[in-house]
Amino acid sequence: MRVNHTGELAAQALYHGQALLARSETTRTLLMAAARAESDHLAWCETRLAELAARPSLLNPLWYAGSFAIGALAALAGDRASLGFVAETERQVERHLDTHLDRLPASDSRSRAILQTMRAEEITHGATATTAGGLPLPQPVRELMRHTAAVMTGIAYWI
């Protein structure tokens, strides 16, 4: 759950950074709505961590700052590219959650319910961004996003 908590924190930061530099109010509103949903996910993960007597990543301030900066950079490419970044982020989160759900013990129904609800909402965020005009990202950008997330989740698992 620590990794999921960190991922939700990072997603919230991405969307805050993107909203800050969004060119249209419509895009800014969409991004802030997604960030609010990520806040809910973050709270669910934090509650579950406490129930499991676990803690969030000690590097969360770093993850937030870095993700905010990445979000702001994505916004500099324009609203349609920024919305494409949201769609790709959510696709990658969906894949991560699928993997986590596959590895989660069947007996952990509480974590499973949280992750399934988050997964459904992440899919909706991605679809909303695409419908709002998000452009598909180039393959090298998608790969860079995937590798960056892998580094973050790998470190957050331990620290």
Look up residue 24 and give its two tokens. Answer: 């249209």
Q: What is the predicted pLDDT for the residue at 109?
A: 95
Total number of domains constituting the chain:
1
CATH value at residue 120: 1.20.1260.10
For residue 132, how many other CB atoms are within 10 A of its CB? 17
Predicted confidence (pLDDT) per residue in 3-41, tens digit: 999 999 999 999 999 999 999 999 999 999 999 988 999
Predicted confidence (pLDDT) per residue in 60-101, tens digit: 999 999 999 999 999 999 999 999 999 999 999 999 999 999
Q: Which structural domain, as residue segments, surrounds residue 43?
A: 2-158
Instruction: Name, in order, each residue with C-beta under 8 angstroms of 159's C-beta and a sequence gap of 6 or more.
Output: 57, 58, 59
Determine contact, residues 46/69, Cβ cutoff 8 Å: no
Look up residue 60 and give its two tokens. Answer: 């969360």
Look up residue 92 and give its two tokens. Answer: 């990658």
Q: CA 159, CA 145: separation in Å to the nearest integer? A: 21
